[in-house]
Structure 1
Amino acid sequence: MLDETHLVSTNLSASDVPEAQPSQAPPSTITPQLQNVVATANLEIRIDLNIVARQARNADYKPKRFTAVVLRIREPKATALIFASGKMVITGARSELDARLAGRKFARIVAKCGYHPKFLDFKVQNIVGSADVGHCIRLEGVERHIRLEDVDKPVNQRRGAAYDPDIFPGLVLRWMDPRVVFLVFVSGRVVITGAKTREQLYEGFRKVLPYLKYYVIEGLAQPVRKKKKKKKQHSQD
């Protein structure tokens, strides 16, 4: 493969840039971890949000700021935004199954407020994952490589690559197939968003990983992340 000095050459054409295929990357055991699943559902009823806010536990409703009542549950840990139309957004779950289970629990909470909700049209809208490639990444090299690869491609097939550290500290990659977005940081941390299924998330990460493995910053160690200390709870006598 070409080194970075070749990639910045003004006489370089897109055909001279070797495309980084997943098969060229060494076998990797890196698997993105799911961090958040956002889903929607329909309760198929009109709801007086003031009633839900008064009767449900862990409810928050401030109509002047937001037009939905916010409900929270601990198991599975999730948050719901419930609108007067009966539309519901579930967020904070760590898997598709947890999102569906949480949605049904939120529907039961609404039922306890005197309504007869249904649970229809459940759909995962976004899956967010994260991974760590294990080394620091030369972000400007990845950006130039992808831009040069896409020079001769039709506009609707080009992947977006944007890196401006004065605006945002990470490299933003917008993949086309699958349609996911990557936020890549110098530390080697990667956030993946926009996937509709975990298969899309895994496939997208598998395709972008060769670029991240190629542009290693030699001699720069990853920053050590400090573990958050749990606060001790003092029992009251």
Structure 2
Amino acid sequence: MPKYKIQNIVASADLGTELDLTQLVVEMENAEYEPESFPGLVFRLKKPKTATLIFRSGKIVCTGSKSIGDVKQAIQMVTESLKDAGIPLTGSPAYEVQNIVASADLEQPINLTSTVISLGLEKVEYEPEVFPGLVYRLDDPKVVILLFGSGRLVCTGAKKPMDVEAAIVRISRELRSVGLLSPEPPGMSEKDRLA
């Protein structure tokens, strides 16, 4: 299986309390709040490098993480900063991953026109005049793959890293089965492919 790299994880949580964003922007370092252009406060961390959108309702959206561990750490740090700013919170809120965006390289060019015919028109969109990539919608896992003629791909819509892996394995197998991707080297184990 081609190696993939997580580019961004978006996760959300609910603090369970309303917030005064005008007061928070004064109390918190690295916070920006311009309600004329965006209704939420933007709180940036350098490590892990993330931006968390904090809304008056107490809902937060963390973006920019490269791993689930970074999501957890960022939300804990945001929660601590809110506590330091005088918000009475207990513990760190439960979060839910909304979207994982990952990239991979199949390491060989792909004929996208042949791919459309092979994968079937019901799940594939390809309009090269509008967008240079092929859009392939999978049901299981429920993700979207943007496949480019160079062999590079972007997987979006995943809720966990296992979904990304499953989607890349699936598209690789489907392309291989119709001769659009060269076979894997013989004797390579699943463990070697995932390494």
What TM-score does the superposition give when structure 1 sets the normalisation length?
A: 0.72
The corresponding residue for 1:81 is: 53
Residues of 2 paired with 1:102 and 1:121: CA distance? Answer: 12
Residue in 2 aligned with 1:175? 138
The equivalent residue for 2:127 is 164
1:216 Cα offset (Å): 5.5
**Partner letter of residue 215 of structure 1?**
L
Shift of 1:59: 1.2
Please give the alpha-carbon distance, in whole angstroms, between the structure 2 residues aligned to 1:42 and 1:101. Answer: 16
Q: Which residue of 2 aligns with 1:90?
A: 62
8 Å contact kept, 1:137–1:187: yes
1:106 equivalent in alignment to 2:78: yes
Aligned to 1:134: 107
What pairs with 1:137-216 in structure 2 (closer than 5 Å)? 137-147=110-120, 160-213=123-176, 214-215=179-180
- Could you tell me whether the CA contact under 8 Å between 1:38 and 1:127 is conserved in 2? yes
Secondary structure of 1:47 counterpart: coil
Which stretch of structure 1 is more off in the superposition, 52-61 or 67-76?
52-61
Question: Matches of 1:113 and 1:49 in 2, distance apart?
Answer: 11
Q: Which runs of 4+ in 1 moved over 2 A?
A: 117-121, 210-217
Aligned to 1:153: none
TM-score (norm 2): 0.86
Which stretch shifts more, 188-197 or 115-124? Answer: 115-124
Aligned to 1:39: 11
Asked whether the 8 Å contact 2:172–2:181 carries over to 1, the reply is no
Larger Rg: 1
Equivalent residue runs for 1:41-60 within 5 Å: 41-60=13-32
Count of residue pairs the alignment pairs up: 179
SS of match in other structure, 1:103? helix
Q: Find out whether 1:65 has 2:37 as its counterpart.
A: yes
Report 1:218-237 matches (<5 A).
Answer: none
Aligned counterparts of 1:196 and 1:216: Cα–Cα separation in 2: 27
- Gapped runs of 5+ residues in structure 2? 183-195
Q: Which amino acid aligns with 1:209?
A: S
Letter in 2 for 1:187: S
> 1:128 offset after TM fit, Å?
1.1
Residues 185-209 of structure 1: CA distance to partner in whole angstroms, max 9, x if unpaired?
1111100011111111101110001
The equivalent residue for 1:124 is 97
Give the SS at the match of 1:166.
coil
- For the residue of structure 2 that corresponds to 1:120, the secondary structure is coil
Q: Which amino acid aligns with 2:151?
A: G
Distance 2:28 2:149 in 1: 44
**Paired-residue identity, %:** 36
Aligned residue type for 2:14: N
Aligned residue for 2:120, secondary structure, equals helix
Hey, what's the Cα distance between the residues in 1 that align with 2:151 and 2:175?
8
Please identify, of 79-88 and 119-128, the stretch whose mean Cα deviation from structure 2 is larger. Answer: 119-128
- 1:16 alignment partner in structure 2: none
Secondary structure of the equivalent of 2:139?
Answer: coil
